[in-house]
Amino acid sequence: MTTVAVKPATMAQALTRALRDAMAADPTVHVLGEDVGTLGGVFRVTDGLAAEFGEDRCTDTPLAEAGILGTAVGMAMYGLRPVVEMQFDAFAYPAFEQLISHVARMRNRTRGSMPLPITVRVPYGGGIGGVEHHSDSSEAYYMATPGLHVVTPATVADAYGLLRAAIASDDPVVVLEPKRLYWSKDTWNPEDPPGVEPIGRAVVRRTGRSATLITYGPSVPVCLEAAEAAQAEGWDLEVVDLRSLVPFDDETVCASVRRTGRAVVVHESGSFAGPGGEIAARVTERCFHHLEAPVLRVAGFDIPYPPPMLERHHLPGVDRVLDAVARLQWEAGN
């Protein structure tokens, strides 16, 4: 046994590594999008891929998102595994018809004879000082579209594992990459990157007995910080990182809530008709008699994403999470 160097990597680097490993392992994996080739993407996630695998494997496309996703459909029909980059969340909207009407439905339409193994990478969420249209949380749209898998990593290791799993999946997967975690770091062993994570499994990031924080993506670090702070107030919070929004891991989530009896859903996306509504509703359906209080939601406001100078007021932070925890009707028991 040799000792191996364990060095820190950012989430962006982990994503790059996942793409590179997938491309090396499978010649049918093709990356396409705006600026993904020569530039390596505006977040540098595709850095070096065109140089290593050639422009035919990592291709700068014309500037047209429906065209990118639409041609990816055709490529997948012919046996390739396209990985599409949408440059920013709001710039995926022009591709919605292709996504909803074709990508999500082709397998079903053809009774399984024409699956579309397409990965759609979407940098999402705010907190990076982006101007209008650069900070949307669009997960509600994807979640409401049957036929898509939707995953979102919160750690460097999951970024690698989930992206590999997405590319390996025979079904379309939307990978929501939390922009403000692109530069978050963790140590890992580049000789032996973490494994492929199964899609559809949540993970308990912190165990606790008082209440469960159900969260994902950019709000995971916020919840972990809130859980630390809550300790001072006497609350021992469990934090569940969903990782996969579709399929939803009812098992892990409900096991936690049944244990703690209280839950808060935390996300950056708007509240109304956002992911939290679904999560609160299904947890309540399944754990009603275990609940000491209604499942509460801490979310972005129901407004267009704010300009950079005002975004801090919008983003759910530690205080807002703690305020919600405080409203979990502690007088009622436990």
Partner 1 sequence: MTVMEQRGAYRPTPPPAWQPRTDPVPLLPDADPYRVLGTEAAARTAPELLLRLYAQLVRGRRYNVQATALTKQGRLAVYPSSTGQEACEVAAALVLEERDWLFPSYRDTLAAVARGVDPVEALTLLRGDWHTGYDPHEHRVAPLCTPLATQLPHAVGLAHAARLKGDDVVALAMVGDGGTSEGDFHEALNFAAVWQAPVVFLVQNNGFAISVPLAKQTAAPSLAHKAVGYGMPGRLVDGNDAAAVHEVLGEAVRTARAGGGPTLVEAVTYRIDAHTNADDATRYRGDAEVETWREHDPILLLERELTARGLLDEETRQSARDAAETMAADLRARMNQDAALDPMDLFDHVYAEPTPQLREQRALLRAELEAEEEGAR
Ligand X SMILES: Cc1ncc(C[n+]2csc(CCOP(=O)(O)OP(=O)(O)O)c2C)c(N)n1
Among 70, 94, 115, 317, binds ligand X (CB under 6 A): 94
176 - beta bridge partners? 122
| Residues 160-189 interacting with partner 1 (rule: CB under 8 A) | 169-171
> Distances in Å between the alpha carbon of 169 and those of 129, 177, 200?
34, 17, 12
| Residues 48-107 interacting with partner 1 (rule: CB under 8 A) | 54-56, 59-67, 69-80, 82, 90-91, 93-94, 97-98, 101-102, 105-107
Q: In the complex with partner 1, which residue's Cβ is closer, 13 or 252?
A: 252
Q: Coil, helix or strand for 241?
A: strand
Q: Coil, helix or strand for 318?
A: helix
Rounded Cα gap, residues 182 and 318, in angstroms: 20
Q: Supply φ then ψ for residue 284, to 5 degrees.
A: -65, -45
Tell the smallest beta-carbon distance from residue 281 to its own copies (Å): 4
Residue span 284-303 as binding mask against its own copies, x where in contact by CB under 8 A, dash where not: xx--x----xxxxx----xx
239 - beta bridge partners? 206, 213
E strands along 56-190, which residues? 58-60, 81-85, 119-124, 149-151, 173-178, 185-188
Q: Coil, helix or strand for 312?
A: helix
Tell the smallest beta-carbon distance from residue 224 to its own copies (Å): 24
User: Catalytic: which of 30, 102, 134, 267?
Assistant: 134
Q: In the complex with its own copies, which residue's Cβ is closer, 167 or 322?
A: 322
Is 147 a binding residue for partner 1 by CB under 8 A? The answer is yes
| Residues 62-91 interacting with its own copies (rule: CB under 8 A) | 66, 90
Q: Which residues lie closer than 8 Å to 269 by C-beta, 6 or more apart?
A: 137, 138, 139, 140, 275, 276, 299, 300
Q: In the complex with partner 1, which residue's Cβ is closer, 134 or 156?
A: 134
Q: Which residues lie closer than 8 Å to 134 by C-beta, 6 or more apart?
A: 88, 89, 90, 128
Is 277 a binding residue for its own copies by CB under 8 A? The answer is yes
Q: In the complex with partner 1, which residue's Cβ is closer, 201 or 206?
A: 201
Which does residue 310 bind out of partner 1, ligand X, its own copies, none, counting CB within 5 to 8 angstroms by kind? partner 1
Q: In the complex with its own copies, which residue's Cβ is closer, 227 or 298?
A: 298
Q: Coil, helix or strand for 223?
A: helix
Q: In the complex with ligand X, which residue's Cβ is closer, 137 or 184?
A: 137
Give 245-308 as a DSSP string: EES--HHHHHHHHHHHS-EEEEEEEESTTSHHHHHHHHHHHHHGGG-SSPPEEEEE-SSSPPPG
Is 276 a binding residue for its own copies by CB under 8 A? The answer is yes
Which does residue 149 bind out of partner 1, ligand X, its own copies, none, counting CB within 5 to 8 angstroms by kind? partner 1
| 15 touches 181 (CB < 8 A) | no
Which does residue 141 bind out of its own copies, partner 1, ligand X, none, counting CB within 5 to 8 angstroms by kind? its own copies
Angle between helix 250-260 and 275-287 (nearest 10) = 60
Count of positions on this chain that bind partner 1 (CB under 8 A): 85
Stretch that binds ligand X, among 10-18, 25-33, 86-94, 136-144 (CB under 6 A): 86-94
| Residues 15-54 interacting with ligand X (rule: CB under 6 A) | 34
> Is position 102 annotated as part of the catalytic site?
no
Count CA within 13 A, CB hemisphere, residue 318: 10
Rounded Cα gap, residues 267 and 78, in angstroms: 38
Count of positions on this chain that bind ligand X (CB under 6 A): 5
Tell the smallest beta-carbon distance from residue 186 to its own copies (Å): 30
Rounded Cα gap, residues 100 and 105, in angstroms: 7
Positions annotated as catalytic residues are 134
Give the residues lining the site for ligand X (CB under 6 A).
Answer: 34, 63, 87, 91, 94
Give the residues lining the site for its own copies (CB under 8 A).
Answer: 66, 90, 93-94, 96-97, 100-101, 104-105, 108-109, 132-133, 140-141, 143-144, 146-147, 246, 248, 270, 272-282, 284-285, 288, 293-297, 302-304
